[in-house]
Structure formats: C-alpha cells, structure tokens
C-alpha cells in the first residue's frame, strides 16, 4: 500500500471541531460484548457535543492473554473492556459499521506494552485511532523490559505507517502513573514518544497532558507542551489532548463533577483540542453508558461557558525550559529515539517518581507545595536547570506525606464547602 498522506479521519474531525470553537470530548469506555459496546458507541455518537468514540480493551487483551478473553466470552463472564483480538477483526469491523465515520471517528485504547496482535486487529478492522507508547504503556503497566517494549512499538508504528488511510496515534506520555510526576517530565515524555512515532513513520499524532493539582500551573504546562510540539513535531499533523485528573478521584458526586468541570475549563482556556473525561462514579466502579454520557455533556457544557471568558496570562515558572532540557539531553544518548529512551532510563536521566518497574531508577521525587503546585522535591539524575539546588534542599518524604499528596484532589473537591455547577 502507498504510505499515508495528510491527516486521517480522526484528526480531520478534531480539526473541524476546533475550527468551530468546540472542544472534542471523549469517554474511557469499554464493554465485553458487541451489543454493549455498540450501544455505548451509539449513545456517545448522539451526545449534543463534539464527541469521538472509544473502545477500551479488557485486561486480558492488554497482556496478550487472548485465550482467557475468549474463554470469558464463551462463558458469558463480565469483562472490563472489549476483547478486540478474541472477537476478531471481522466482528470489530461489523461493530463499527453504521456508527464510525467522518462525523464520529473511533479510537481503541488499551494499555499494552506489547500490542502487536492488537494493532494487527485494529488495522484489519479499520479503526481510526489508537494510543499508548513504548514508555508510557510499559513502565506503569507491565514487567516487560523497556528495550523489548521499544522494539515492539517500533514494529507497531511501522505497521501503521504502511497503510494508506492514516491511523491516528496518541502518546500517553503525559499521564505517567496519573499523578505525582512533575509537569516538565510529563511533557518531555509525550514529546519524546511523538518523536519516536515520527521516526517510525507515523505522522498523525497527538501529545497528552494529565490535569494535576493547580490550574495555573497546568495552563503553563499545556502552553509549554504546545510550544514544544510546534518546535519538535511541527512537520507532523498533531494536536493536544488533556486528561481529566488521573489520580485518586473524589468520592462524592459534587466533588467528581467539580474536578471534571475544572478540567473542561482548563482545556478551553489552554486551547486544548480534545479532553478525555471521567465520570461521577470513577472512584468506586466502572461507569455505565448513561454515566459516561452525563460526563461528556457536563464537560462540553463547562468548556462552552469558559470559552467566552477573557483569556488569562500564561505563568512562567520554568516548565518549558525544564522540558526542553530533558528532551534535548535525552536525544544525545542514542543513535535513534528508541535507543536514547532506553539509555536515558538506564542512566536515571529519565526517571518516574514512585514507579517500581525494573528499568526505572525510582530515585527522583516530587511534592505538592502549599499552593497546590506539583514541583520537584529531588530530581536525582534528571537533567533540569537548578537540579543541584533542588537536590541540596530536598525534603524527606514520609509515608503519611505521600498518602496526603495522593489524596490531595480527593480531599479538596470532596470538601463540603465545594459545590459543582448545576446544569
């Protein structure tokens, strides 16, 4: 087949919505059976907002245990996502028929460090987009050696690059572990994965960032992400995607809605094109179709209201400079991006706080300061400006302190004094 030229259907939809001043909102939804999954996609398609569909795969498929996924289907057991490989490409293509199209593209979301079989299935089924990356879907979710994941993702990227209709590929690098990863490190990983995708022929991509604990800091971070994407990925078709907070979520309905609405306002204020939402029941169980639809409608409503507000100034605490330093240094460590990523983690020059994967040094630390900003406590070997000063002034982290940081947004948004806006 001829190599792809220009953006694919997914990116064309996002661009069209953005040109009309609309934020694209997307759920994290997956069900085991074709009937459930089709009902979910159909419900999302008819939401009064600019929506794209999601097929999130199950946990068996993520780790390539397709035999167990097939057995669960045969027994009628509940699955926490759609077993695309077990169902087969023909079934998935039939699922999408009459639903996916130019006005409603669909993305497969997965979490697999070794996604070869899944990529083969989604390409054969004609899926519009997928996501992940050699680092972001290896270190948090698997025991797979990083070098092996890099090789597997290189093959998958080259698979996508060889088809005529571009399949969009989104880096999950801006969401490492969901929380307690400094913004400049999230940005660096997303840009580096974007460079990895491009190096292996994929030129229809998105870069990501997960909402953290201070909106002004998040605005600065997204501004830095967009600036660096223009600099490093300017010859690709790219856009930015924001994730509603990926850490410990509020337990109350008003708290969950408050955090969701703030993420939608953040997306609108920062010029982000797409938002991955969370629901009001995120802290306790897998949400229903109705709860996913409610979250999409609420996020679109909050973004639309924010879009008419006066834009605020962009803070500057050095996030852009830190991310630029990490990216530039990492790329000096190997003859290609994949080798550079493996070498950087081996040296501890890329290091994810609190990540227990065997290829992660786990020496650097972050903290939430008294203004709610997520900052470096000790960068260890990560090459950022002022690294030595930060290391000298590092504060000892206790177990109680870690728990307090992990529950920061949960406590803040579940506080009785906070209420979500009615619709």
CA distances from 42 to 16, 52, 301 (A): 21, 11, 20
Mean pLDDT of 341-348: 98
pLDDT of residue 1: 46
User: 389-415: per-residue pLDDT in tens?
Assistant: 665 666 678 888 888 898 989 999 998
Compute, in degrees rounded to 10, the torsion defined by CA atoms 71, 77, 83, 85.
10
Rounded to 5 degrees, φ, ψ at 418 are: -95, 140
User: 192-236: per-residue pLDDT in tens?
Assistant: 999 999 999 999 999 999 999 999 999 999 999 999 999 999 999
In a domain, 362, yes or no: no
In a domain, 405, yes or no: no
Rounded to 5 degrees, φ, ψ at 130 are: -150, -170
In a domain, 34, yes or no: yes
CA distance 243 to 181: 14
In a domain, 399, yes or no: no
In a domain, 108, yes or no: yes
In a domain, 2, yes or no: no
What spatial distance separates the first Cα and last Cα of the chain, rounded to whole Å? 49
- The owner of tokens 């979490």 is 111
User: 106-143: per-residue pLDDT in tens?
Assistant: 999 999 999 999 999 999 999 999 999 999 999 998 99
CA distance 354 to 180: 8
CATH number, position 185: 3.20.20.240
DSSP 104-115: B-EEEE---SS-
CA distance 422 to 267: 20
Q: Could you tell me the residue range of the domain that residue 193 belongs to?
A: 9-306
pTM: 0.95
pLDDT of residue 6: 82
pLDDT of residue 121: 98
Helix runs in 59-214, H state only: 59-62, 66-75, 84-87, 89-96, 116-125, 146-161, 183-199
pLDDT of residue 308: 64
In a domain, 58, yes or no: yes
What's the chain's average pLDDT?
93
Helix runs in 82-145, H state only: 84-87, 89-96, 116-125
User: 162-191: per-residue pLDDT in tens?
Assistant: 999 999 999 999 999 888 999 999 999 999
The count of domains in the chain is: 1
User: Does residue 237 register a pLDDT over 80?
Assistant: yes
In a domain, 93, yes or no: yes
User: 249-268: per-residue pLDDT in tens?
Assistant: 999 999 999 999 999 999 99
């Amino acid at each position: 087949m001829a190599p792809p030229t220009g953006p694919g259907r997914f990116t064309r939809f996002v661009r069209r919505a953005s040109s009309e001043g609309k934020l694209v909102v997307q759920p994290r939804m997956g069900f085991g059976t074709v009937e459930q999954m089709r009902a979910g996609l159909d419900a999302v398609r008819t939401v009064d907002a600019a929506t794209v569909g999601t097929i999130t795969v199950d946990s068996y498929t993520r780790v390539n245990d397709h035999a167990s996924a097939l057995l669960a289907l045969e027994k009628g057991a509940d699955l926490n996502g759609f077993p695309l490989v077990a169902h087969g490409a023909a079934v998935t293509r039939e699922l999408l028929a009459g639903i996916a199209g130019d006005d409603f593209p669909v993305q497969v979301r997965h979490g697999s460090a070794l996604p070869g079989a899944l990529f083969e299935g989604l390409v054969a089924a004609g899926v519009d987009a997928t996501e992940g990356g050699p680092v972001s879907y290896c270190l948090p979710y698997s025991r797979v050696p990083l070098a092996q994941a890099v090789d597997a993702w290189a093959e998958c990227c080259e698979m996508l690059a060889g088809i005529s209709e571009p399949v969009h590929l989104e880096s999950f690098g801006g969401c490492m572990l969901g929380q307690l990863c400094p913004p400049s490190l999230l940005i660096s990983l997303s840009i580096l994965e974007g460079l990895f995708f491009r190096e292996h022929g994929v030129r229809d991509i998105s870069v990501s960032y997960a909402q953290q604990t201070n909106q002004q800091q998040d605005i600065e971070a997204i501004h830095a992400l967009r600036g660096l994407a223009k600099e490093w990925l300017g010859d690709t078709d790219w856009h930015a995607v924001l994730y509603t907070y990926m850490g410990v979520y509020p337990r109350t309905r008003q708290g969950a809605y408050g955090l969701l609405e703030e993420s939608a306002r953040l997306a609108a204020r920062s010029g982000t094109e797409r938002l991955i939402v969370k629901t009001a029941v995120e802290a306790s169980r897998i949400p229903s179709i109705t709860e996913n639809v409610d979250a999409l409608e609420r996020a679109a409503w909050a973004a639309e209201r924010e879009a008419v507000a006066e834009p605020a100034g962009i803070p500057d605490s050095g996030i852009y400079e830190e991310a630029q330093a990490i990216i530039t240094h990492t790329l000096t460590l190997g003859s290609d991006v994949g080798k550079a990523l493996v070498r950087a983690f081996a040296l501890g020059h890329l290091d994810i706080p609190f990540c227990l994967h065997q290829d992660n040094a786990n020496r650097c630390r972050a903290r939430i300061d008294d203004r709610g900003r997520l900052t470096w406590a000790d960068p260890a070997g990560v090459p950022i400006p002022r690294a030595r000063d930060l290391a000298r002034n590092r504060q000892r982290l206790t177990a109680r302190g870690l728990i307090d940081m992990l529950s920061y947004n949960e406590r803040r948004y579940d506080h009785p004094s906070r209420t979500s806006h009615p619709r």
